[in-house]
Each structure stands twice: as C-alpha cells, then as structure tokens.
Amino acid sequence: MSARQPLAPWQQRIHDHAADALDAGRLGHGLLFCGPAQLGKRAVAERLAERVLCLQRSAGEGPCGRCRSCHLLAQRHQRDPVETRPDGQLAHPLGHSGHPDLVLVGHVLNEKGRPPKMRSEIVIEQVRNLSEKLALTTQYGGAQVVIIDPADAVNHAACNALLKTLEEPVPGRYLWLVSGNPARLPATIRSRCQRLEFRLPPREESLQWLQAQGHDSGDALEALEAAHGHPGQADAWLRNEGMGLRRQVGTDLDAIAQGTRTPLETAQRWTADEHAALRLRHAADLAVARAAERLTDPARTRSLAAWFDQANRTCELLRTTVRADLAVLELLMAWRSGAARSEARSRPDGAG
Ligand SMILES: [Zn+2]
C-alpha cells in the first residue's frame, strides 16, 4: 500500500496510538508489529517512519510534507518496489528504500542460485549490514528507522546478531519488526520489543471499508464471510480470482456428490495451475459450512469434519514431492463416497 492512500480505519487507530506513544517517549526502539497478514502492518510501520524521519515536524503534528526527508519518501511511493516474491508479497532488498535513513530488510534474491531465486530466509549478512549502518551517524542528522519484514523469516544465526542490536539501543534509532507469525520469533527477541497488535476490525467497519474500495455491497459481504471477517483477505479475493475460485470449488463439490462430474477430471483441473492450495483451503472451509447446515445428520457432520482434516492434510502434501493430482484425487474420491453414504442414509427405506 502506498503512503499516498489513506490508512484504513483500523490502521489509523493503531497508527495514532503508536504516534502518541512515540511523541510522549513511551515507545522504546524495538517495536513488533504483529497480527494476521494483509491487515496493513507494513503500511502503518512506513507511515510511522515518515513521522519520525521528518526533519521539521511540529510537536503533536504529522510529517511536514515539505522537508528533504518527506520529499524523498514521497518520491519513493511514485516508484514503488518492483520485486515480488512468489507468494505475492513485496520484497525490498536491503537499503533500497530511496531514503538513506530508512533501511528495509526483507527477502532478497540469492544471486548464487541458478537461476537466481528469492531466499526464503533473512540471513546474517543482511542483519550485519544493518547493524553497521545503525552504528554510523545518520545521513540527514535526524532519526534512523530499520523495518524488518517478515521478521519471522530471520534465521537462527541472524536472530543472534539482531538480538545484539536490540540490546544496545541508541537514541533516535528504531528497529521495527513486522510479523504475521510472531510465535516463530525467539522469546529473547520478542521480550525486547513492545508489541503493536493488529486485530480483525468490527464487521461493520470492514464492510464499509470494502465498499470504499469500490466493491459491491453484496460481493463485500460474501467475501468478508468467506474470509472469516478479514477485510484485507476479502479485498484480495475480490480483486484477484479468489472468490470466483471459491464458487467454482463449491460447484465442483456439488457436481461430484451428484455424480455429474468425476473426481479424476476435477482433480486434474484443480491442480493444473498455481491455485491448488487455495482451492483446497476453500474446499475445507466449504465443508465446515456444509456441516453447519447438516446438524440433523450427525454422521454426515462427523464425516465432513474428517474430510476437513483430510483437505488440510492434502494441502500440506502439496508442498512435498507427492504428485498433487493424485493427492487431490484421493481427497475428491473421499468426498464422493461421503456424499453417497449420506444420500443412502437419507433414503426413505433407511438403508445405509
Ligand atoms: Zn518533513
């Protein structure tokens, strides 16, 4: 999200709370922005960075928008980072923030790979580089901010280096960690950071925000329910094919149950592109929704619960070398036989 866009209401609340605490000197130099992905943790961190880096900010006010620092950061948003990780998250190589005193640490390209691939971990060289940078005087004589995102990708050796930096705070130097999985961070790191916790906003606020993003109110409602109240996820599913994919998965499951589509054909189609895992996630979710509609049939409810587990296990298998089409075929055959048993039970003669 570019800083030129307004923050969402839930982001604005966290931003304002943190800004007040920063102004009052109640925040230390280590901050942990945590909570579910796609709620805008990074956007809030970058907005706060603009605030502390501004060179002419009046007390209690936001960034001035006129000083050298504000100008540089505004330019940066006009040429947003272009590198993208395979999972769609933006990646910022070290130090490419466009501002000498804002250091962004994230996934970088491993140049040694053939072909070069994104590293899955943040490695010690990246953390050493930033420690060296923090030890120098700032280029603009103001504050200095380091944002590490995703902090849970920092590997073991790099964590130890990071800990050293956290243990030796320097006034005006900020080290901010962004993480969707803070439990993966060592306790020693977590305990040295103050937490800014992002939570799912109230439903009404999410719906209003989704409509402000240009989504039809019916679509917004459907997507928000599918995303279990997560507005960022709902927005992403409405922008990419996520919701269309979900409807197709529901249609396929019904067609398999009715015998109008085969598990084999469906498994091949579900695994023919890069959306197999998302289809299984939707399928597992739809099984739970179907179970809620079938509370009068405890056997079916139990079999749907078992199928939900199987769908999640199959999703895990997709990350291994197991052939995806065969794993999904097995899952869809289980769906067909579960539906057939339920059908047999519901016949008037009570067979099954
Ligand atoms: Zn400024």
DSSP 8-state class, residue 154: B
Distance 43 CA to ligand 1 centre (A): 18
Rounded to the nearest angstrom, the distance between the alpha carbon of 67 and the centre of ligand 1 is 4
Residue 94 has pLDDT above 50, yes or no: no
Read off the pLDDT of residues 158-203 as tens digits, 9 standing for 90 and up.
998 888 888 888 888 899 999 999 999 999 999 999 999 999 999 9
- d(CA 214, CA 163) in angstroms, rounded, equals 43
What pLDDT shows up at residue 113?
A: 77
Percentage of the chain lying above the pLDDT 90 cut: 62
Ligand 1 midpoint to CA 4 (Å): 15
Angle between helices 203-212 and 9-23 (to 10 degrees): 110
CA 141 to ligand 1 center in whole angstroms: 13
Cα of 143 to ligand 1 centre, how many Å? 12
What spacing in Å lies between the alpha carbon of 189 and ligand 1's midpoint?
31
Higher per-residue confidence, 352 vs 10: 10
pLDDT at 59: 83
Kindly report the CA angle at 195 between 192 and 201, in degrees rounded to 5?
170
Q: What is the pLDDT of residue 4?
A: 59
| Model pLDDT for residues 270-307, shown as the tens digit of each residue | 999 999 999 999 999 999 988 888 888 888 899 999 99
- Domain 9-199 superfamily per CATH: P-loop containing nucleotide triphosphate hydrolases (3.40.50.300)
State the burial class of residue 219 (Cβ atoms within 10 Å of its Cβ: 0-12, 13-18, 19+).
Answer: middle
Give residue 66 CA to ligand 1 midpoint distance, Å: 5
The model's pTM is 0.82
DSSP at 153: G
CA of 55 to the centre of ligand 1 (A): 5
Residue 180 is given by DSSP the state S
Higher pLDDT, 80 or 146: 146
What is the CA(47)–ligand 1 centre distance, in A?
12
The pLDDT score that the predictor gives to residue 118 is 84
Q: Are strands 109-110 and 102-105 parallel, antiparallel or unpaired?
A: unpaired
